A and B are shown apart, each in its own frame.
Chain A
């Protein structure tokens, strides 16, 4: 296990969001985090990133408590792809991806040539070279999401945590982003992504964890967890299952 959280209670001082949570991420495996809105998915992600300390339990990176790892060292190992927001300054795609190398230089130093090289490599890997000099405020939501994934990869991390990487993307861009997530797994990274769509988990994740009201109500291999009756319980709504041979898909309602 690269990144492991045990017996986590998550939340903020005076506001406990969830407890009794276990999470283990291994190299070359993707885990999907499912669950209704407000159930604690993003808070768990931030706890695993070390952005907020767990209220109980411990997160370990390669066996070392996360709290004992300096922020820059941690940023080189665990990358974060936040929910993409439209607002902000219109930095170019290249400038944005270069920020993924923040942890590699002193606060007063300009990015080195190897930092720029890593940024260019990440941009090429995501297939967005033609966008490199475009402001991120002028590209599509899907392209912005690919830029943020490139920024995460620029740090050459071992673990990538993605917060709803396909939220507010159109159908085609969802496909592009999910293919890239699959590629990260193929490349040997430990991947965790949150999603609202059980079908994405079914197709792109090895393991699934489901959180509701701050408790982990399901956790295990994707094929065992993603069953109609379990999804109905998780989301509190009827679910229809579509089967074709070995392949399954779920339709809400």
Chain B
């Protein structure tokens, strides 16, 4: 790490975030210029009239504003959780759903749709599903005594995830093919199209709380990425730390999936990009990944709603952009992780 590279990388991430926000407002059926955006926000804060048409205000405050916030929160959450898990599991190919958070949340959501729980009910079922899945994986993985604790967790995650996937298949098979199945399919593909002002709070509270915990623990994540016994010999209480990181990362992942459906690849690609910018050390990596993840997902979401006459599902775009991008990263890394 050359001195100064850290600040440059953080500045680059902030630039992506800022340009993402400006592009998101100025593109689409109702473009909002940066000047109008600032005017509406200033008016909202001071209570003074904007002098702009109510339509612009509605776009900023009711429609696009919440969607932009949701994209920032979801992208940031998935990237932070991904970075934390890649460190914790000492594997750069790990994504936030390694312990079944996404699959559990997906099963919760399709069950919610199956039982016609309504928008809020589906979100709650999804969030609960994600938390329950990881709790089950953690309980089973920790009960498997002897051997490598991390390996036990990963293998349990794979097994439980596969079972949950079968559950999703079963619910889809049983679902009403004209009414429920399209909703399930759309949800599983991931989208922020349905986000309204009321969706922000249930997303923001767990995401901000979980991200805050991860950021607070970032000074310990370097040592947590060492082999277990080595970390303990250095004085790290690996058991409690691992549990805290898993809970925080699961909280943000489950809340994200509950709000946006399955949006893959962000949690895998963005931490790599952030490592490329600021190096692997978590005190710098984690804030950079959080900022970059928000900007990255916002840019992709803007593309999703503007590139075609109809919305392209977000999860399809993140995969279509993420995979080639990831291959390029792997080729550049020449087998190394940094």
A105 contacts B219, C-beta separation under 8 Å:
yes
Q: Choose from A88, A90, A103, A107 the contact partner of B226 (Cβ within 8 Å).
A: A88
Closest to A111 in B: B219
Task: For B234, list chain A residues within 8 Å (CB).
Answer: 75, 80, 99-100, 102-103, 151, 155
In angstroms, how far is the closest chain B Cβ from the Cβ of A179?
A: 24
Q: How far is the CB of A79 from chain B (nearest CB, A)?
A: 8
How far, in Å, is B2 (CB) from chain A's closest CB? 7
Inter-chain contact B336/A137, CB cutoff 8 Å = yes
A100-B230 Cα distance, complex, nearest whole Å: 10
Is there contact, CB below 8 Å, between A109 and B146? no
Q: Is the interface of B mostly helix, strand, loop or mixed?
A: loop
Residues of B within 8 A of A111 (CB): 219
Are B280 and A103 interface neighbours, CB within 8 A?
A: no
Residues of A within 8 A of B217 (CB): 107-108
Of residues 279 through 299 on chain B, the ones whose CB sits less than 8 Å from some CB of chain A are: 279-281, 283
- Give the size of the chain A interface in residues (CB under 8 angstroms): 40
Q: Given that A88-B225, A89-B225, A90-B336 are known contacts, is A102 also in contact with B283, CB under 8 Å in the complex?
A: no
User: Using a CB-CB cutoff of 8 Å, which residues 52-94 of chain A contact chain B?
Assistant: 71-72, 74-76, 78-80, 82, 85, 87-92
Shortest Cβ gap from B323 to chain A (Å): 23
Is residue B44 contacting chain A, with contact meaning CB distance below 8 A? no
Nearest residue (CB) in A for B215 is: A108
Contact with B1, one of A46, A88, A133 (Cβ below 8 angstroms): A133
Q: CA–CA, A90 to B1, complex, Å?
A: 10
B92, chain A: closest CB distance, angstroms: 8
Q: In the complex, how many angstroms separate the beta carbon of B147 from the nearest chain A beta carbon?
A: 9
A75 touches B279 (CB 8 A): no
Decide if A14 touches B233 in the complex (CB within 8 Å). Answer: no
The total of interchain contacts (Cβ-Cβ below 8 angstroms) comes to 98
Contacts of A105 in B (CB 8 A): 219
Please report which residues of chain A, range 13-28, place their CB below 8 angstroms from some CB of chain B when the two chains form the complex.
13-14
Q: B146, B235, B237: which contacts A12 (Cβ < 8 A)?
A: B146
Q: Which residues of B contact A51 (CB under 8 A)?
A: 229, 232-233
Q: Which of B215-255 contact A (CB under 8 A)?
A: 216-217, 219-220, 222-223, 225-227, 229-237, 241
A120 to chain B, nearest CB (A): 14
**Residue pair B338, A82 in contact (C-beta under 8 Å):** no
On whether the beta carbons of B338 and A137 are closer than 8 Å, the reply is: yes
Which residue of A14, A75, A110 is within 8 Å of B146 (Cβ)? A14
Interface contact B235-A133, CB-CB below 8 Å: no
Query: Is the Cβ of A107 less than 8 Å from the Cβ of B219?
Result: yes
Query: Taking A74-B235, A137-B337 as contacts, is the C-beta distance between A88 and B90 under 8 angstroms?
Result: yes
Query: What residues of A have a CB within 8 angstroms of the CB of B332 in the complex?
Result: none
Q: Which residue of B lies closest to A136 (CB)?
A: B338
Q: Does B3 contact A (CB under 8 A)?
A: yes
Q: Which of B145, B230, B235, B281 contacts A91 (CB 8 A)?
A: B281
Q: Which residues of the other chain, A, contact B337 by a CB distance below 8 angstroms?
A: 88-90, 137
Q: Interface residues, chain A, CB within 8 Å of chain B?
A: 12-14, 46, 49, 51, 71-72, 74-76, 78-80, 82, 85, 87-92, 95, 99-100, 102-105, 107-111, 133, 135, 137-138, 151, 155
